[in-house]
Homo-oligomer: A and B are copies of this chain.
Amino acid sequence: MSTGKLTRKGEARRKEILEVFHDVLSCEGLEGASMSKVASRMGVAPSLIMHYFPSKEEMVVALVDHILARYEETFLPRLRGIGDPEERLRAATDLLLGPEWPGLVDEAVFYACYSLGFRDRRVRESFRRMYARLREVLAEEIAALMDEGAVVRGDPWNAADLVITLLEGYDFYRGVMEGEKHFEDFGRFLRETVLTLLGTGGEKELGVSPSQVQARQVPSGEAAASYTRAASAEKARGPGGGARTR
């Protein structure tokens, strides 16, 4: 985009530089990561790095787009094949809250980039755009569920925001609690909770980690408490009517 002529070799170099920079950033953080270290780790002259990225800021901005794209390139295609809206939403939340997601991008790198967003306008806007797109997709999915089964009610935008909040809170919390035994339990609990909240959770009850369920009676009628399952309809308008966000 911003770079001049690049041959195939040049494109590969550019990508290689970003990947090495990713590694250095993972090990040393924003404070310790430098173009010199990238160069020396690659065994090339520092000036070569600057041939591809005119400044350190350009490099980190490019890295942000690179890692955020990785999320989207994983998320969107995963839903394409699925026809049933309920299954699609379940696949989405399973992916976002599952074991694969945190492995997509190094956590240290992700949060270093996120924290940079408070100082760098372009970084901030890259993040904002990505979450706006994710929000759009999620709201669309939830709205599709509403149109079909009338299982979900309420504002799909709020529901989408809630899913994003749970996703990011869970990732954040993992950074703190990973390795603690209780955190795994909570992961299972959360994956079920979000499904039940969205009305695709089947018969399960909320509030109890599956690992703790033992021979319990499910009250017949409205077992799964869920904001997705109630009377008032008011058919909240779904998304898709253009860019309401930006």
Q: Does A207 contact B (CB under 8 A)?
A: yes
Q: Does A230 contact B (CB under 8 A)?
A: yes
Using CB atoms, name the residue of chain B closest to A163.
B169
Tell me, in angstroms, the Cα distance from A115 to B117 when the chains sit together: 13
Using CB atoms, name the residue of chain B closest to A153.
B207
Chain A interfacial residues counted at CB < 8 A:
74
Using CB atoms, name the residue of chain B closest to A29.
B119
Q: Does A73 contact B (CB under 8 A)?
A: no
Interface string of A227-243 (1 = CB under 8 A from B): 11111101010000000
Chain A, 157-189, CB within 8 A of any chain B CB: 157-159, 161-162, 164-170, 172-173, 175-177, 180, 182-183, 185-186, 189
Counted per complex, copies of this chain come to: 2
Tell me, in angstroms, the Cα distance from A127 to B173 when the chains sit together: 10
Q: Does A28 contact B (CB under 8 A)?
A: yes
B182 touches A206 (CB 8 A): no
- Residue among A153, A205, A228, A232 with the most chain B CB within 10 A? A232
Using CB atoms, name the residue of chain B closest to A211.
B155
User: Which B residues touch A206, using CB under 8 A?
Assistant: 154, 226-227, 230
Q: What would 18 more interface pairs be, CB under 8 Å, given A166-B166, A207-B227?
A: A27-B119, A30-B30, A108-B115, A115-B115, A127-B176, A128-B177, A131-B176, A131-B177, A153-B208, A157-B185, A161-B190, A164-B169, A165-B166, A166-B169, A172-B172, A193-B227, A196-B227, A225-B229
Subset of 25 A-B contacts with CB under 8 Å: A28-B119, A29-B116, A29-B118, A30-B30, A30-B115, A114-B175, A117-B175, A117-B176, A152-B207, A154-B208, A155-B189, A158-B185, A161-B173, A164-B169, A166-B166, A168-B168, A168-B172, A196-B227, A205-B227, A205-B232, A207-B228, A208-B236, A216-B234, A217-B231, A225-B229
Q: Which residues in A have some Cβ–Cβ distance to B below 8 Å?
A: 27-31, 107-108, 111-112, 114-119, 124, 127-128, 131, 152-155, 157-159, 161-162, 164-170, 172-173, 175-177, 180, 182-183, 185-186, 189-190, 193, 196, 205-209, 212, 216-219, 222-223, 225-232, 234, 236, 244-246
